[in-house]
Amino acid sequence: MNLALFDLDNTLLNGDSDFEWSQFLIRIGVLDRELFAAQNLKFYEQYKAGTLDIHAFLDFQLKPLSRHPRSTLDIWHRQFMRESVLPMVTRASRELVARHQAADDVCVIITATNSFVTAPIAREFGIAHLIATEPEHRDGEFTGRVAGVPSFKEGKITRLNEWLDARGWTLDSFADSTFYSDSHNDLPLLEIVRHPVAANPDDTLRTHAERQGWPIINLR
């Protein structure tokens, strides 16, 4: 039994669903463009630079979920999938996932983006297992806060270990483990799997991958 882990944004997707969700809400008039567009871009640039304060970002990203009923958010998300997400799904990404599924590998998307945004995207890829940052909810509605450890940097290892432990597994339970990511933010997890793969890597990850002899692939 093998384990295949996939980062989502800029790895399986040719773009960032977290960033695009805020841009979508701005576009349909839910968020004020003047107040939110510059801040959204600022957080995205910090993420790429490796300087993101994840809790400050989550406060920005999750607060809008608490201001609207879940039924309304779900309607907006279906539109978001059609207009923003599906154009970011590439044939190469679908084929990569399909190869692992055909080999009966355990396939997991592991992403810093919250599960409200990413669960429908995981279903689009036919991937049953999702490890994502979890928005807190009460009586089915979002509170605007995060629940548990964000799935970001070293937090991805924490969340993966929790997921494995709940199933009576460890990484050593698998004959092979592979992780595909584009981002240097994922180096902690890339360094503990048996087969790290730099997919559409940023400059920092590409340099590290070349130095370590890791495979480098293009899913775009």
The DSSP call for residue 140 is T
64/26 Cα distance (integer angstroms): 11
By annotation, the residues acting in catalysis are 7, 9
147/88 Cα distance (integer angstroms): 28
The residues, any chain, with a CB within 8 Å of residue 166's CB and separated by 6 or more, are none
Give the side-chain half-sphere CA count within 13 A for 95.
6
Could you give the angle at which helices 54-66 and 33-49 cross, rounded to 10 degrees? 150
60/78 Cα distance (integer angstroms): 22
The DSSP call for residue 2 is E
173/38 Cα distance (integer angstroms): 45
Strand order in the sheet with 106-114: 141-147, 129-138, 106-114, 2-6, 176-181, 195-199, 216-217
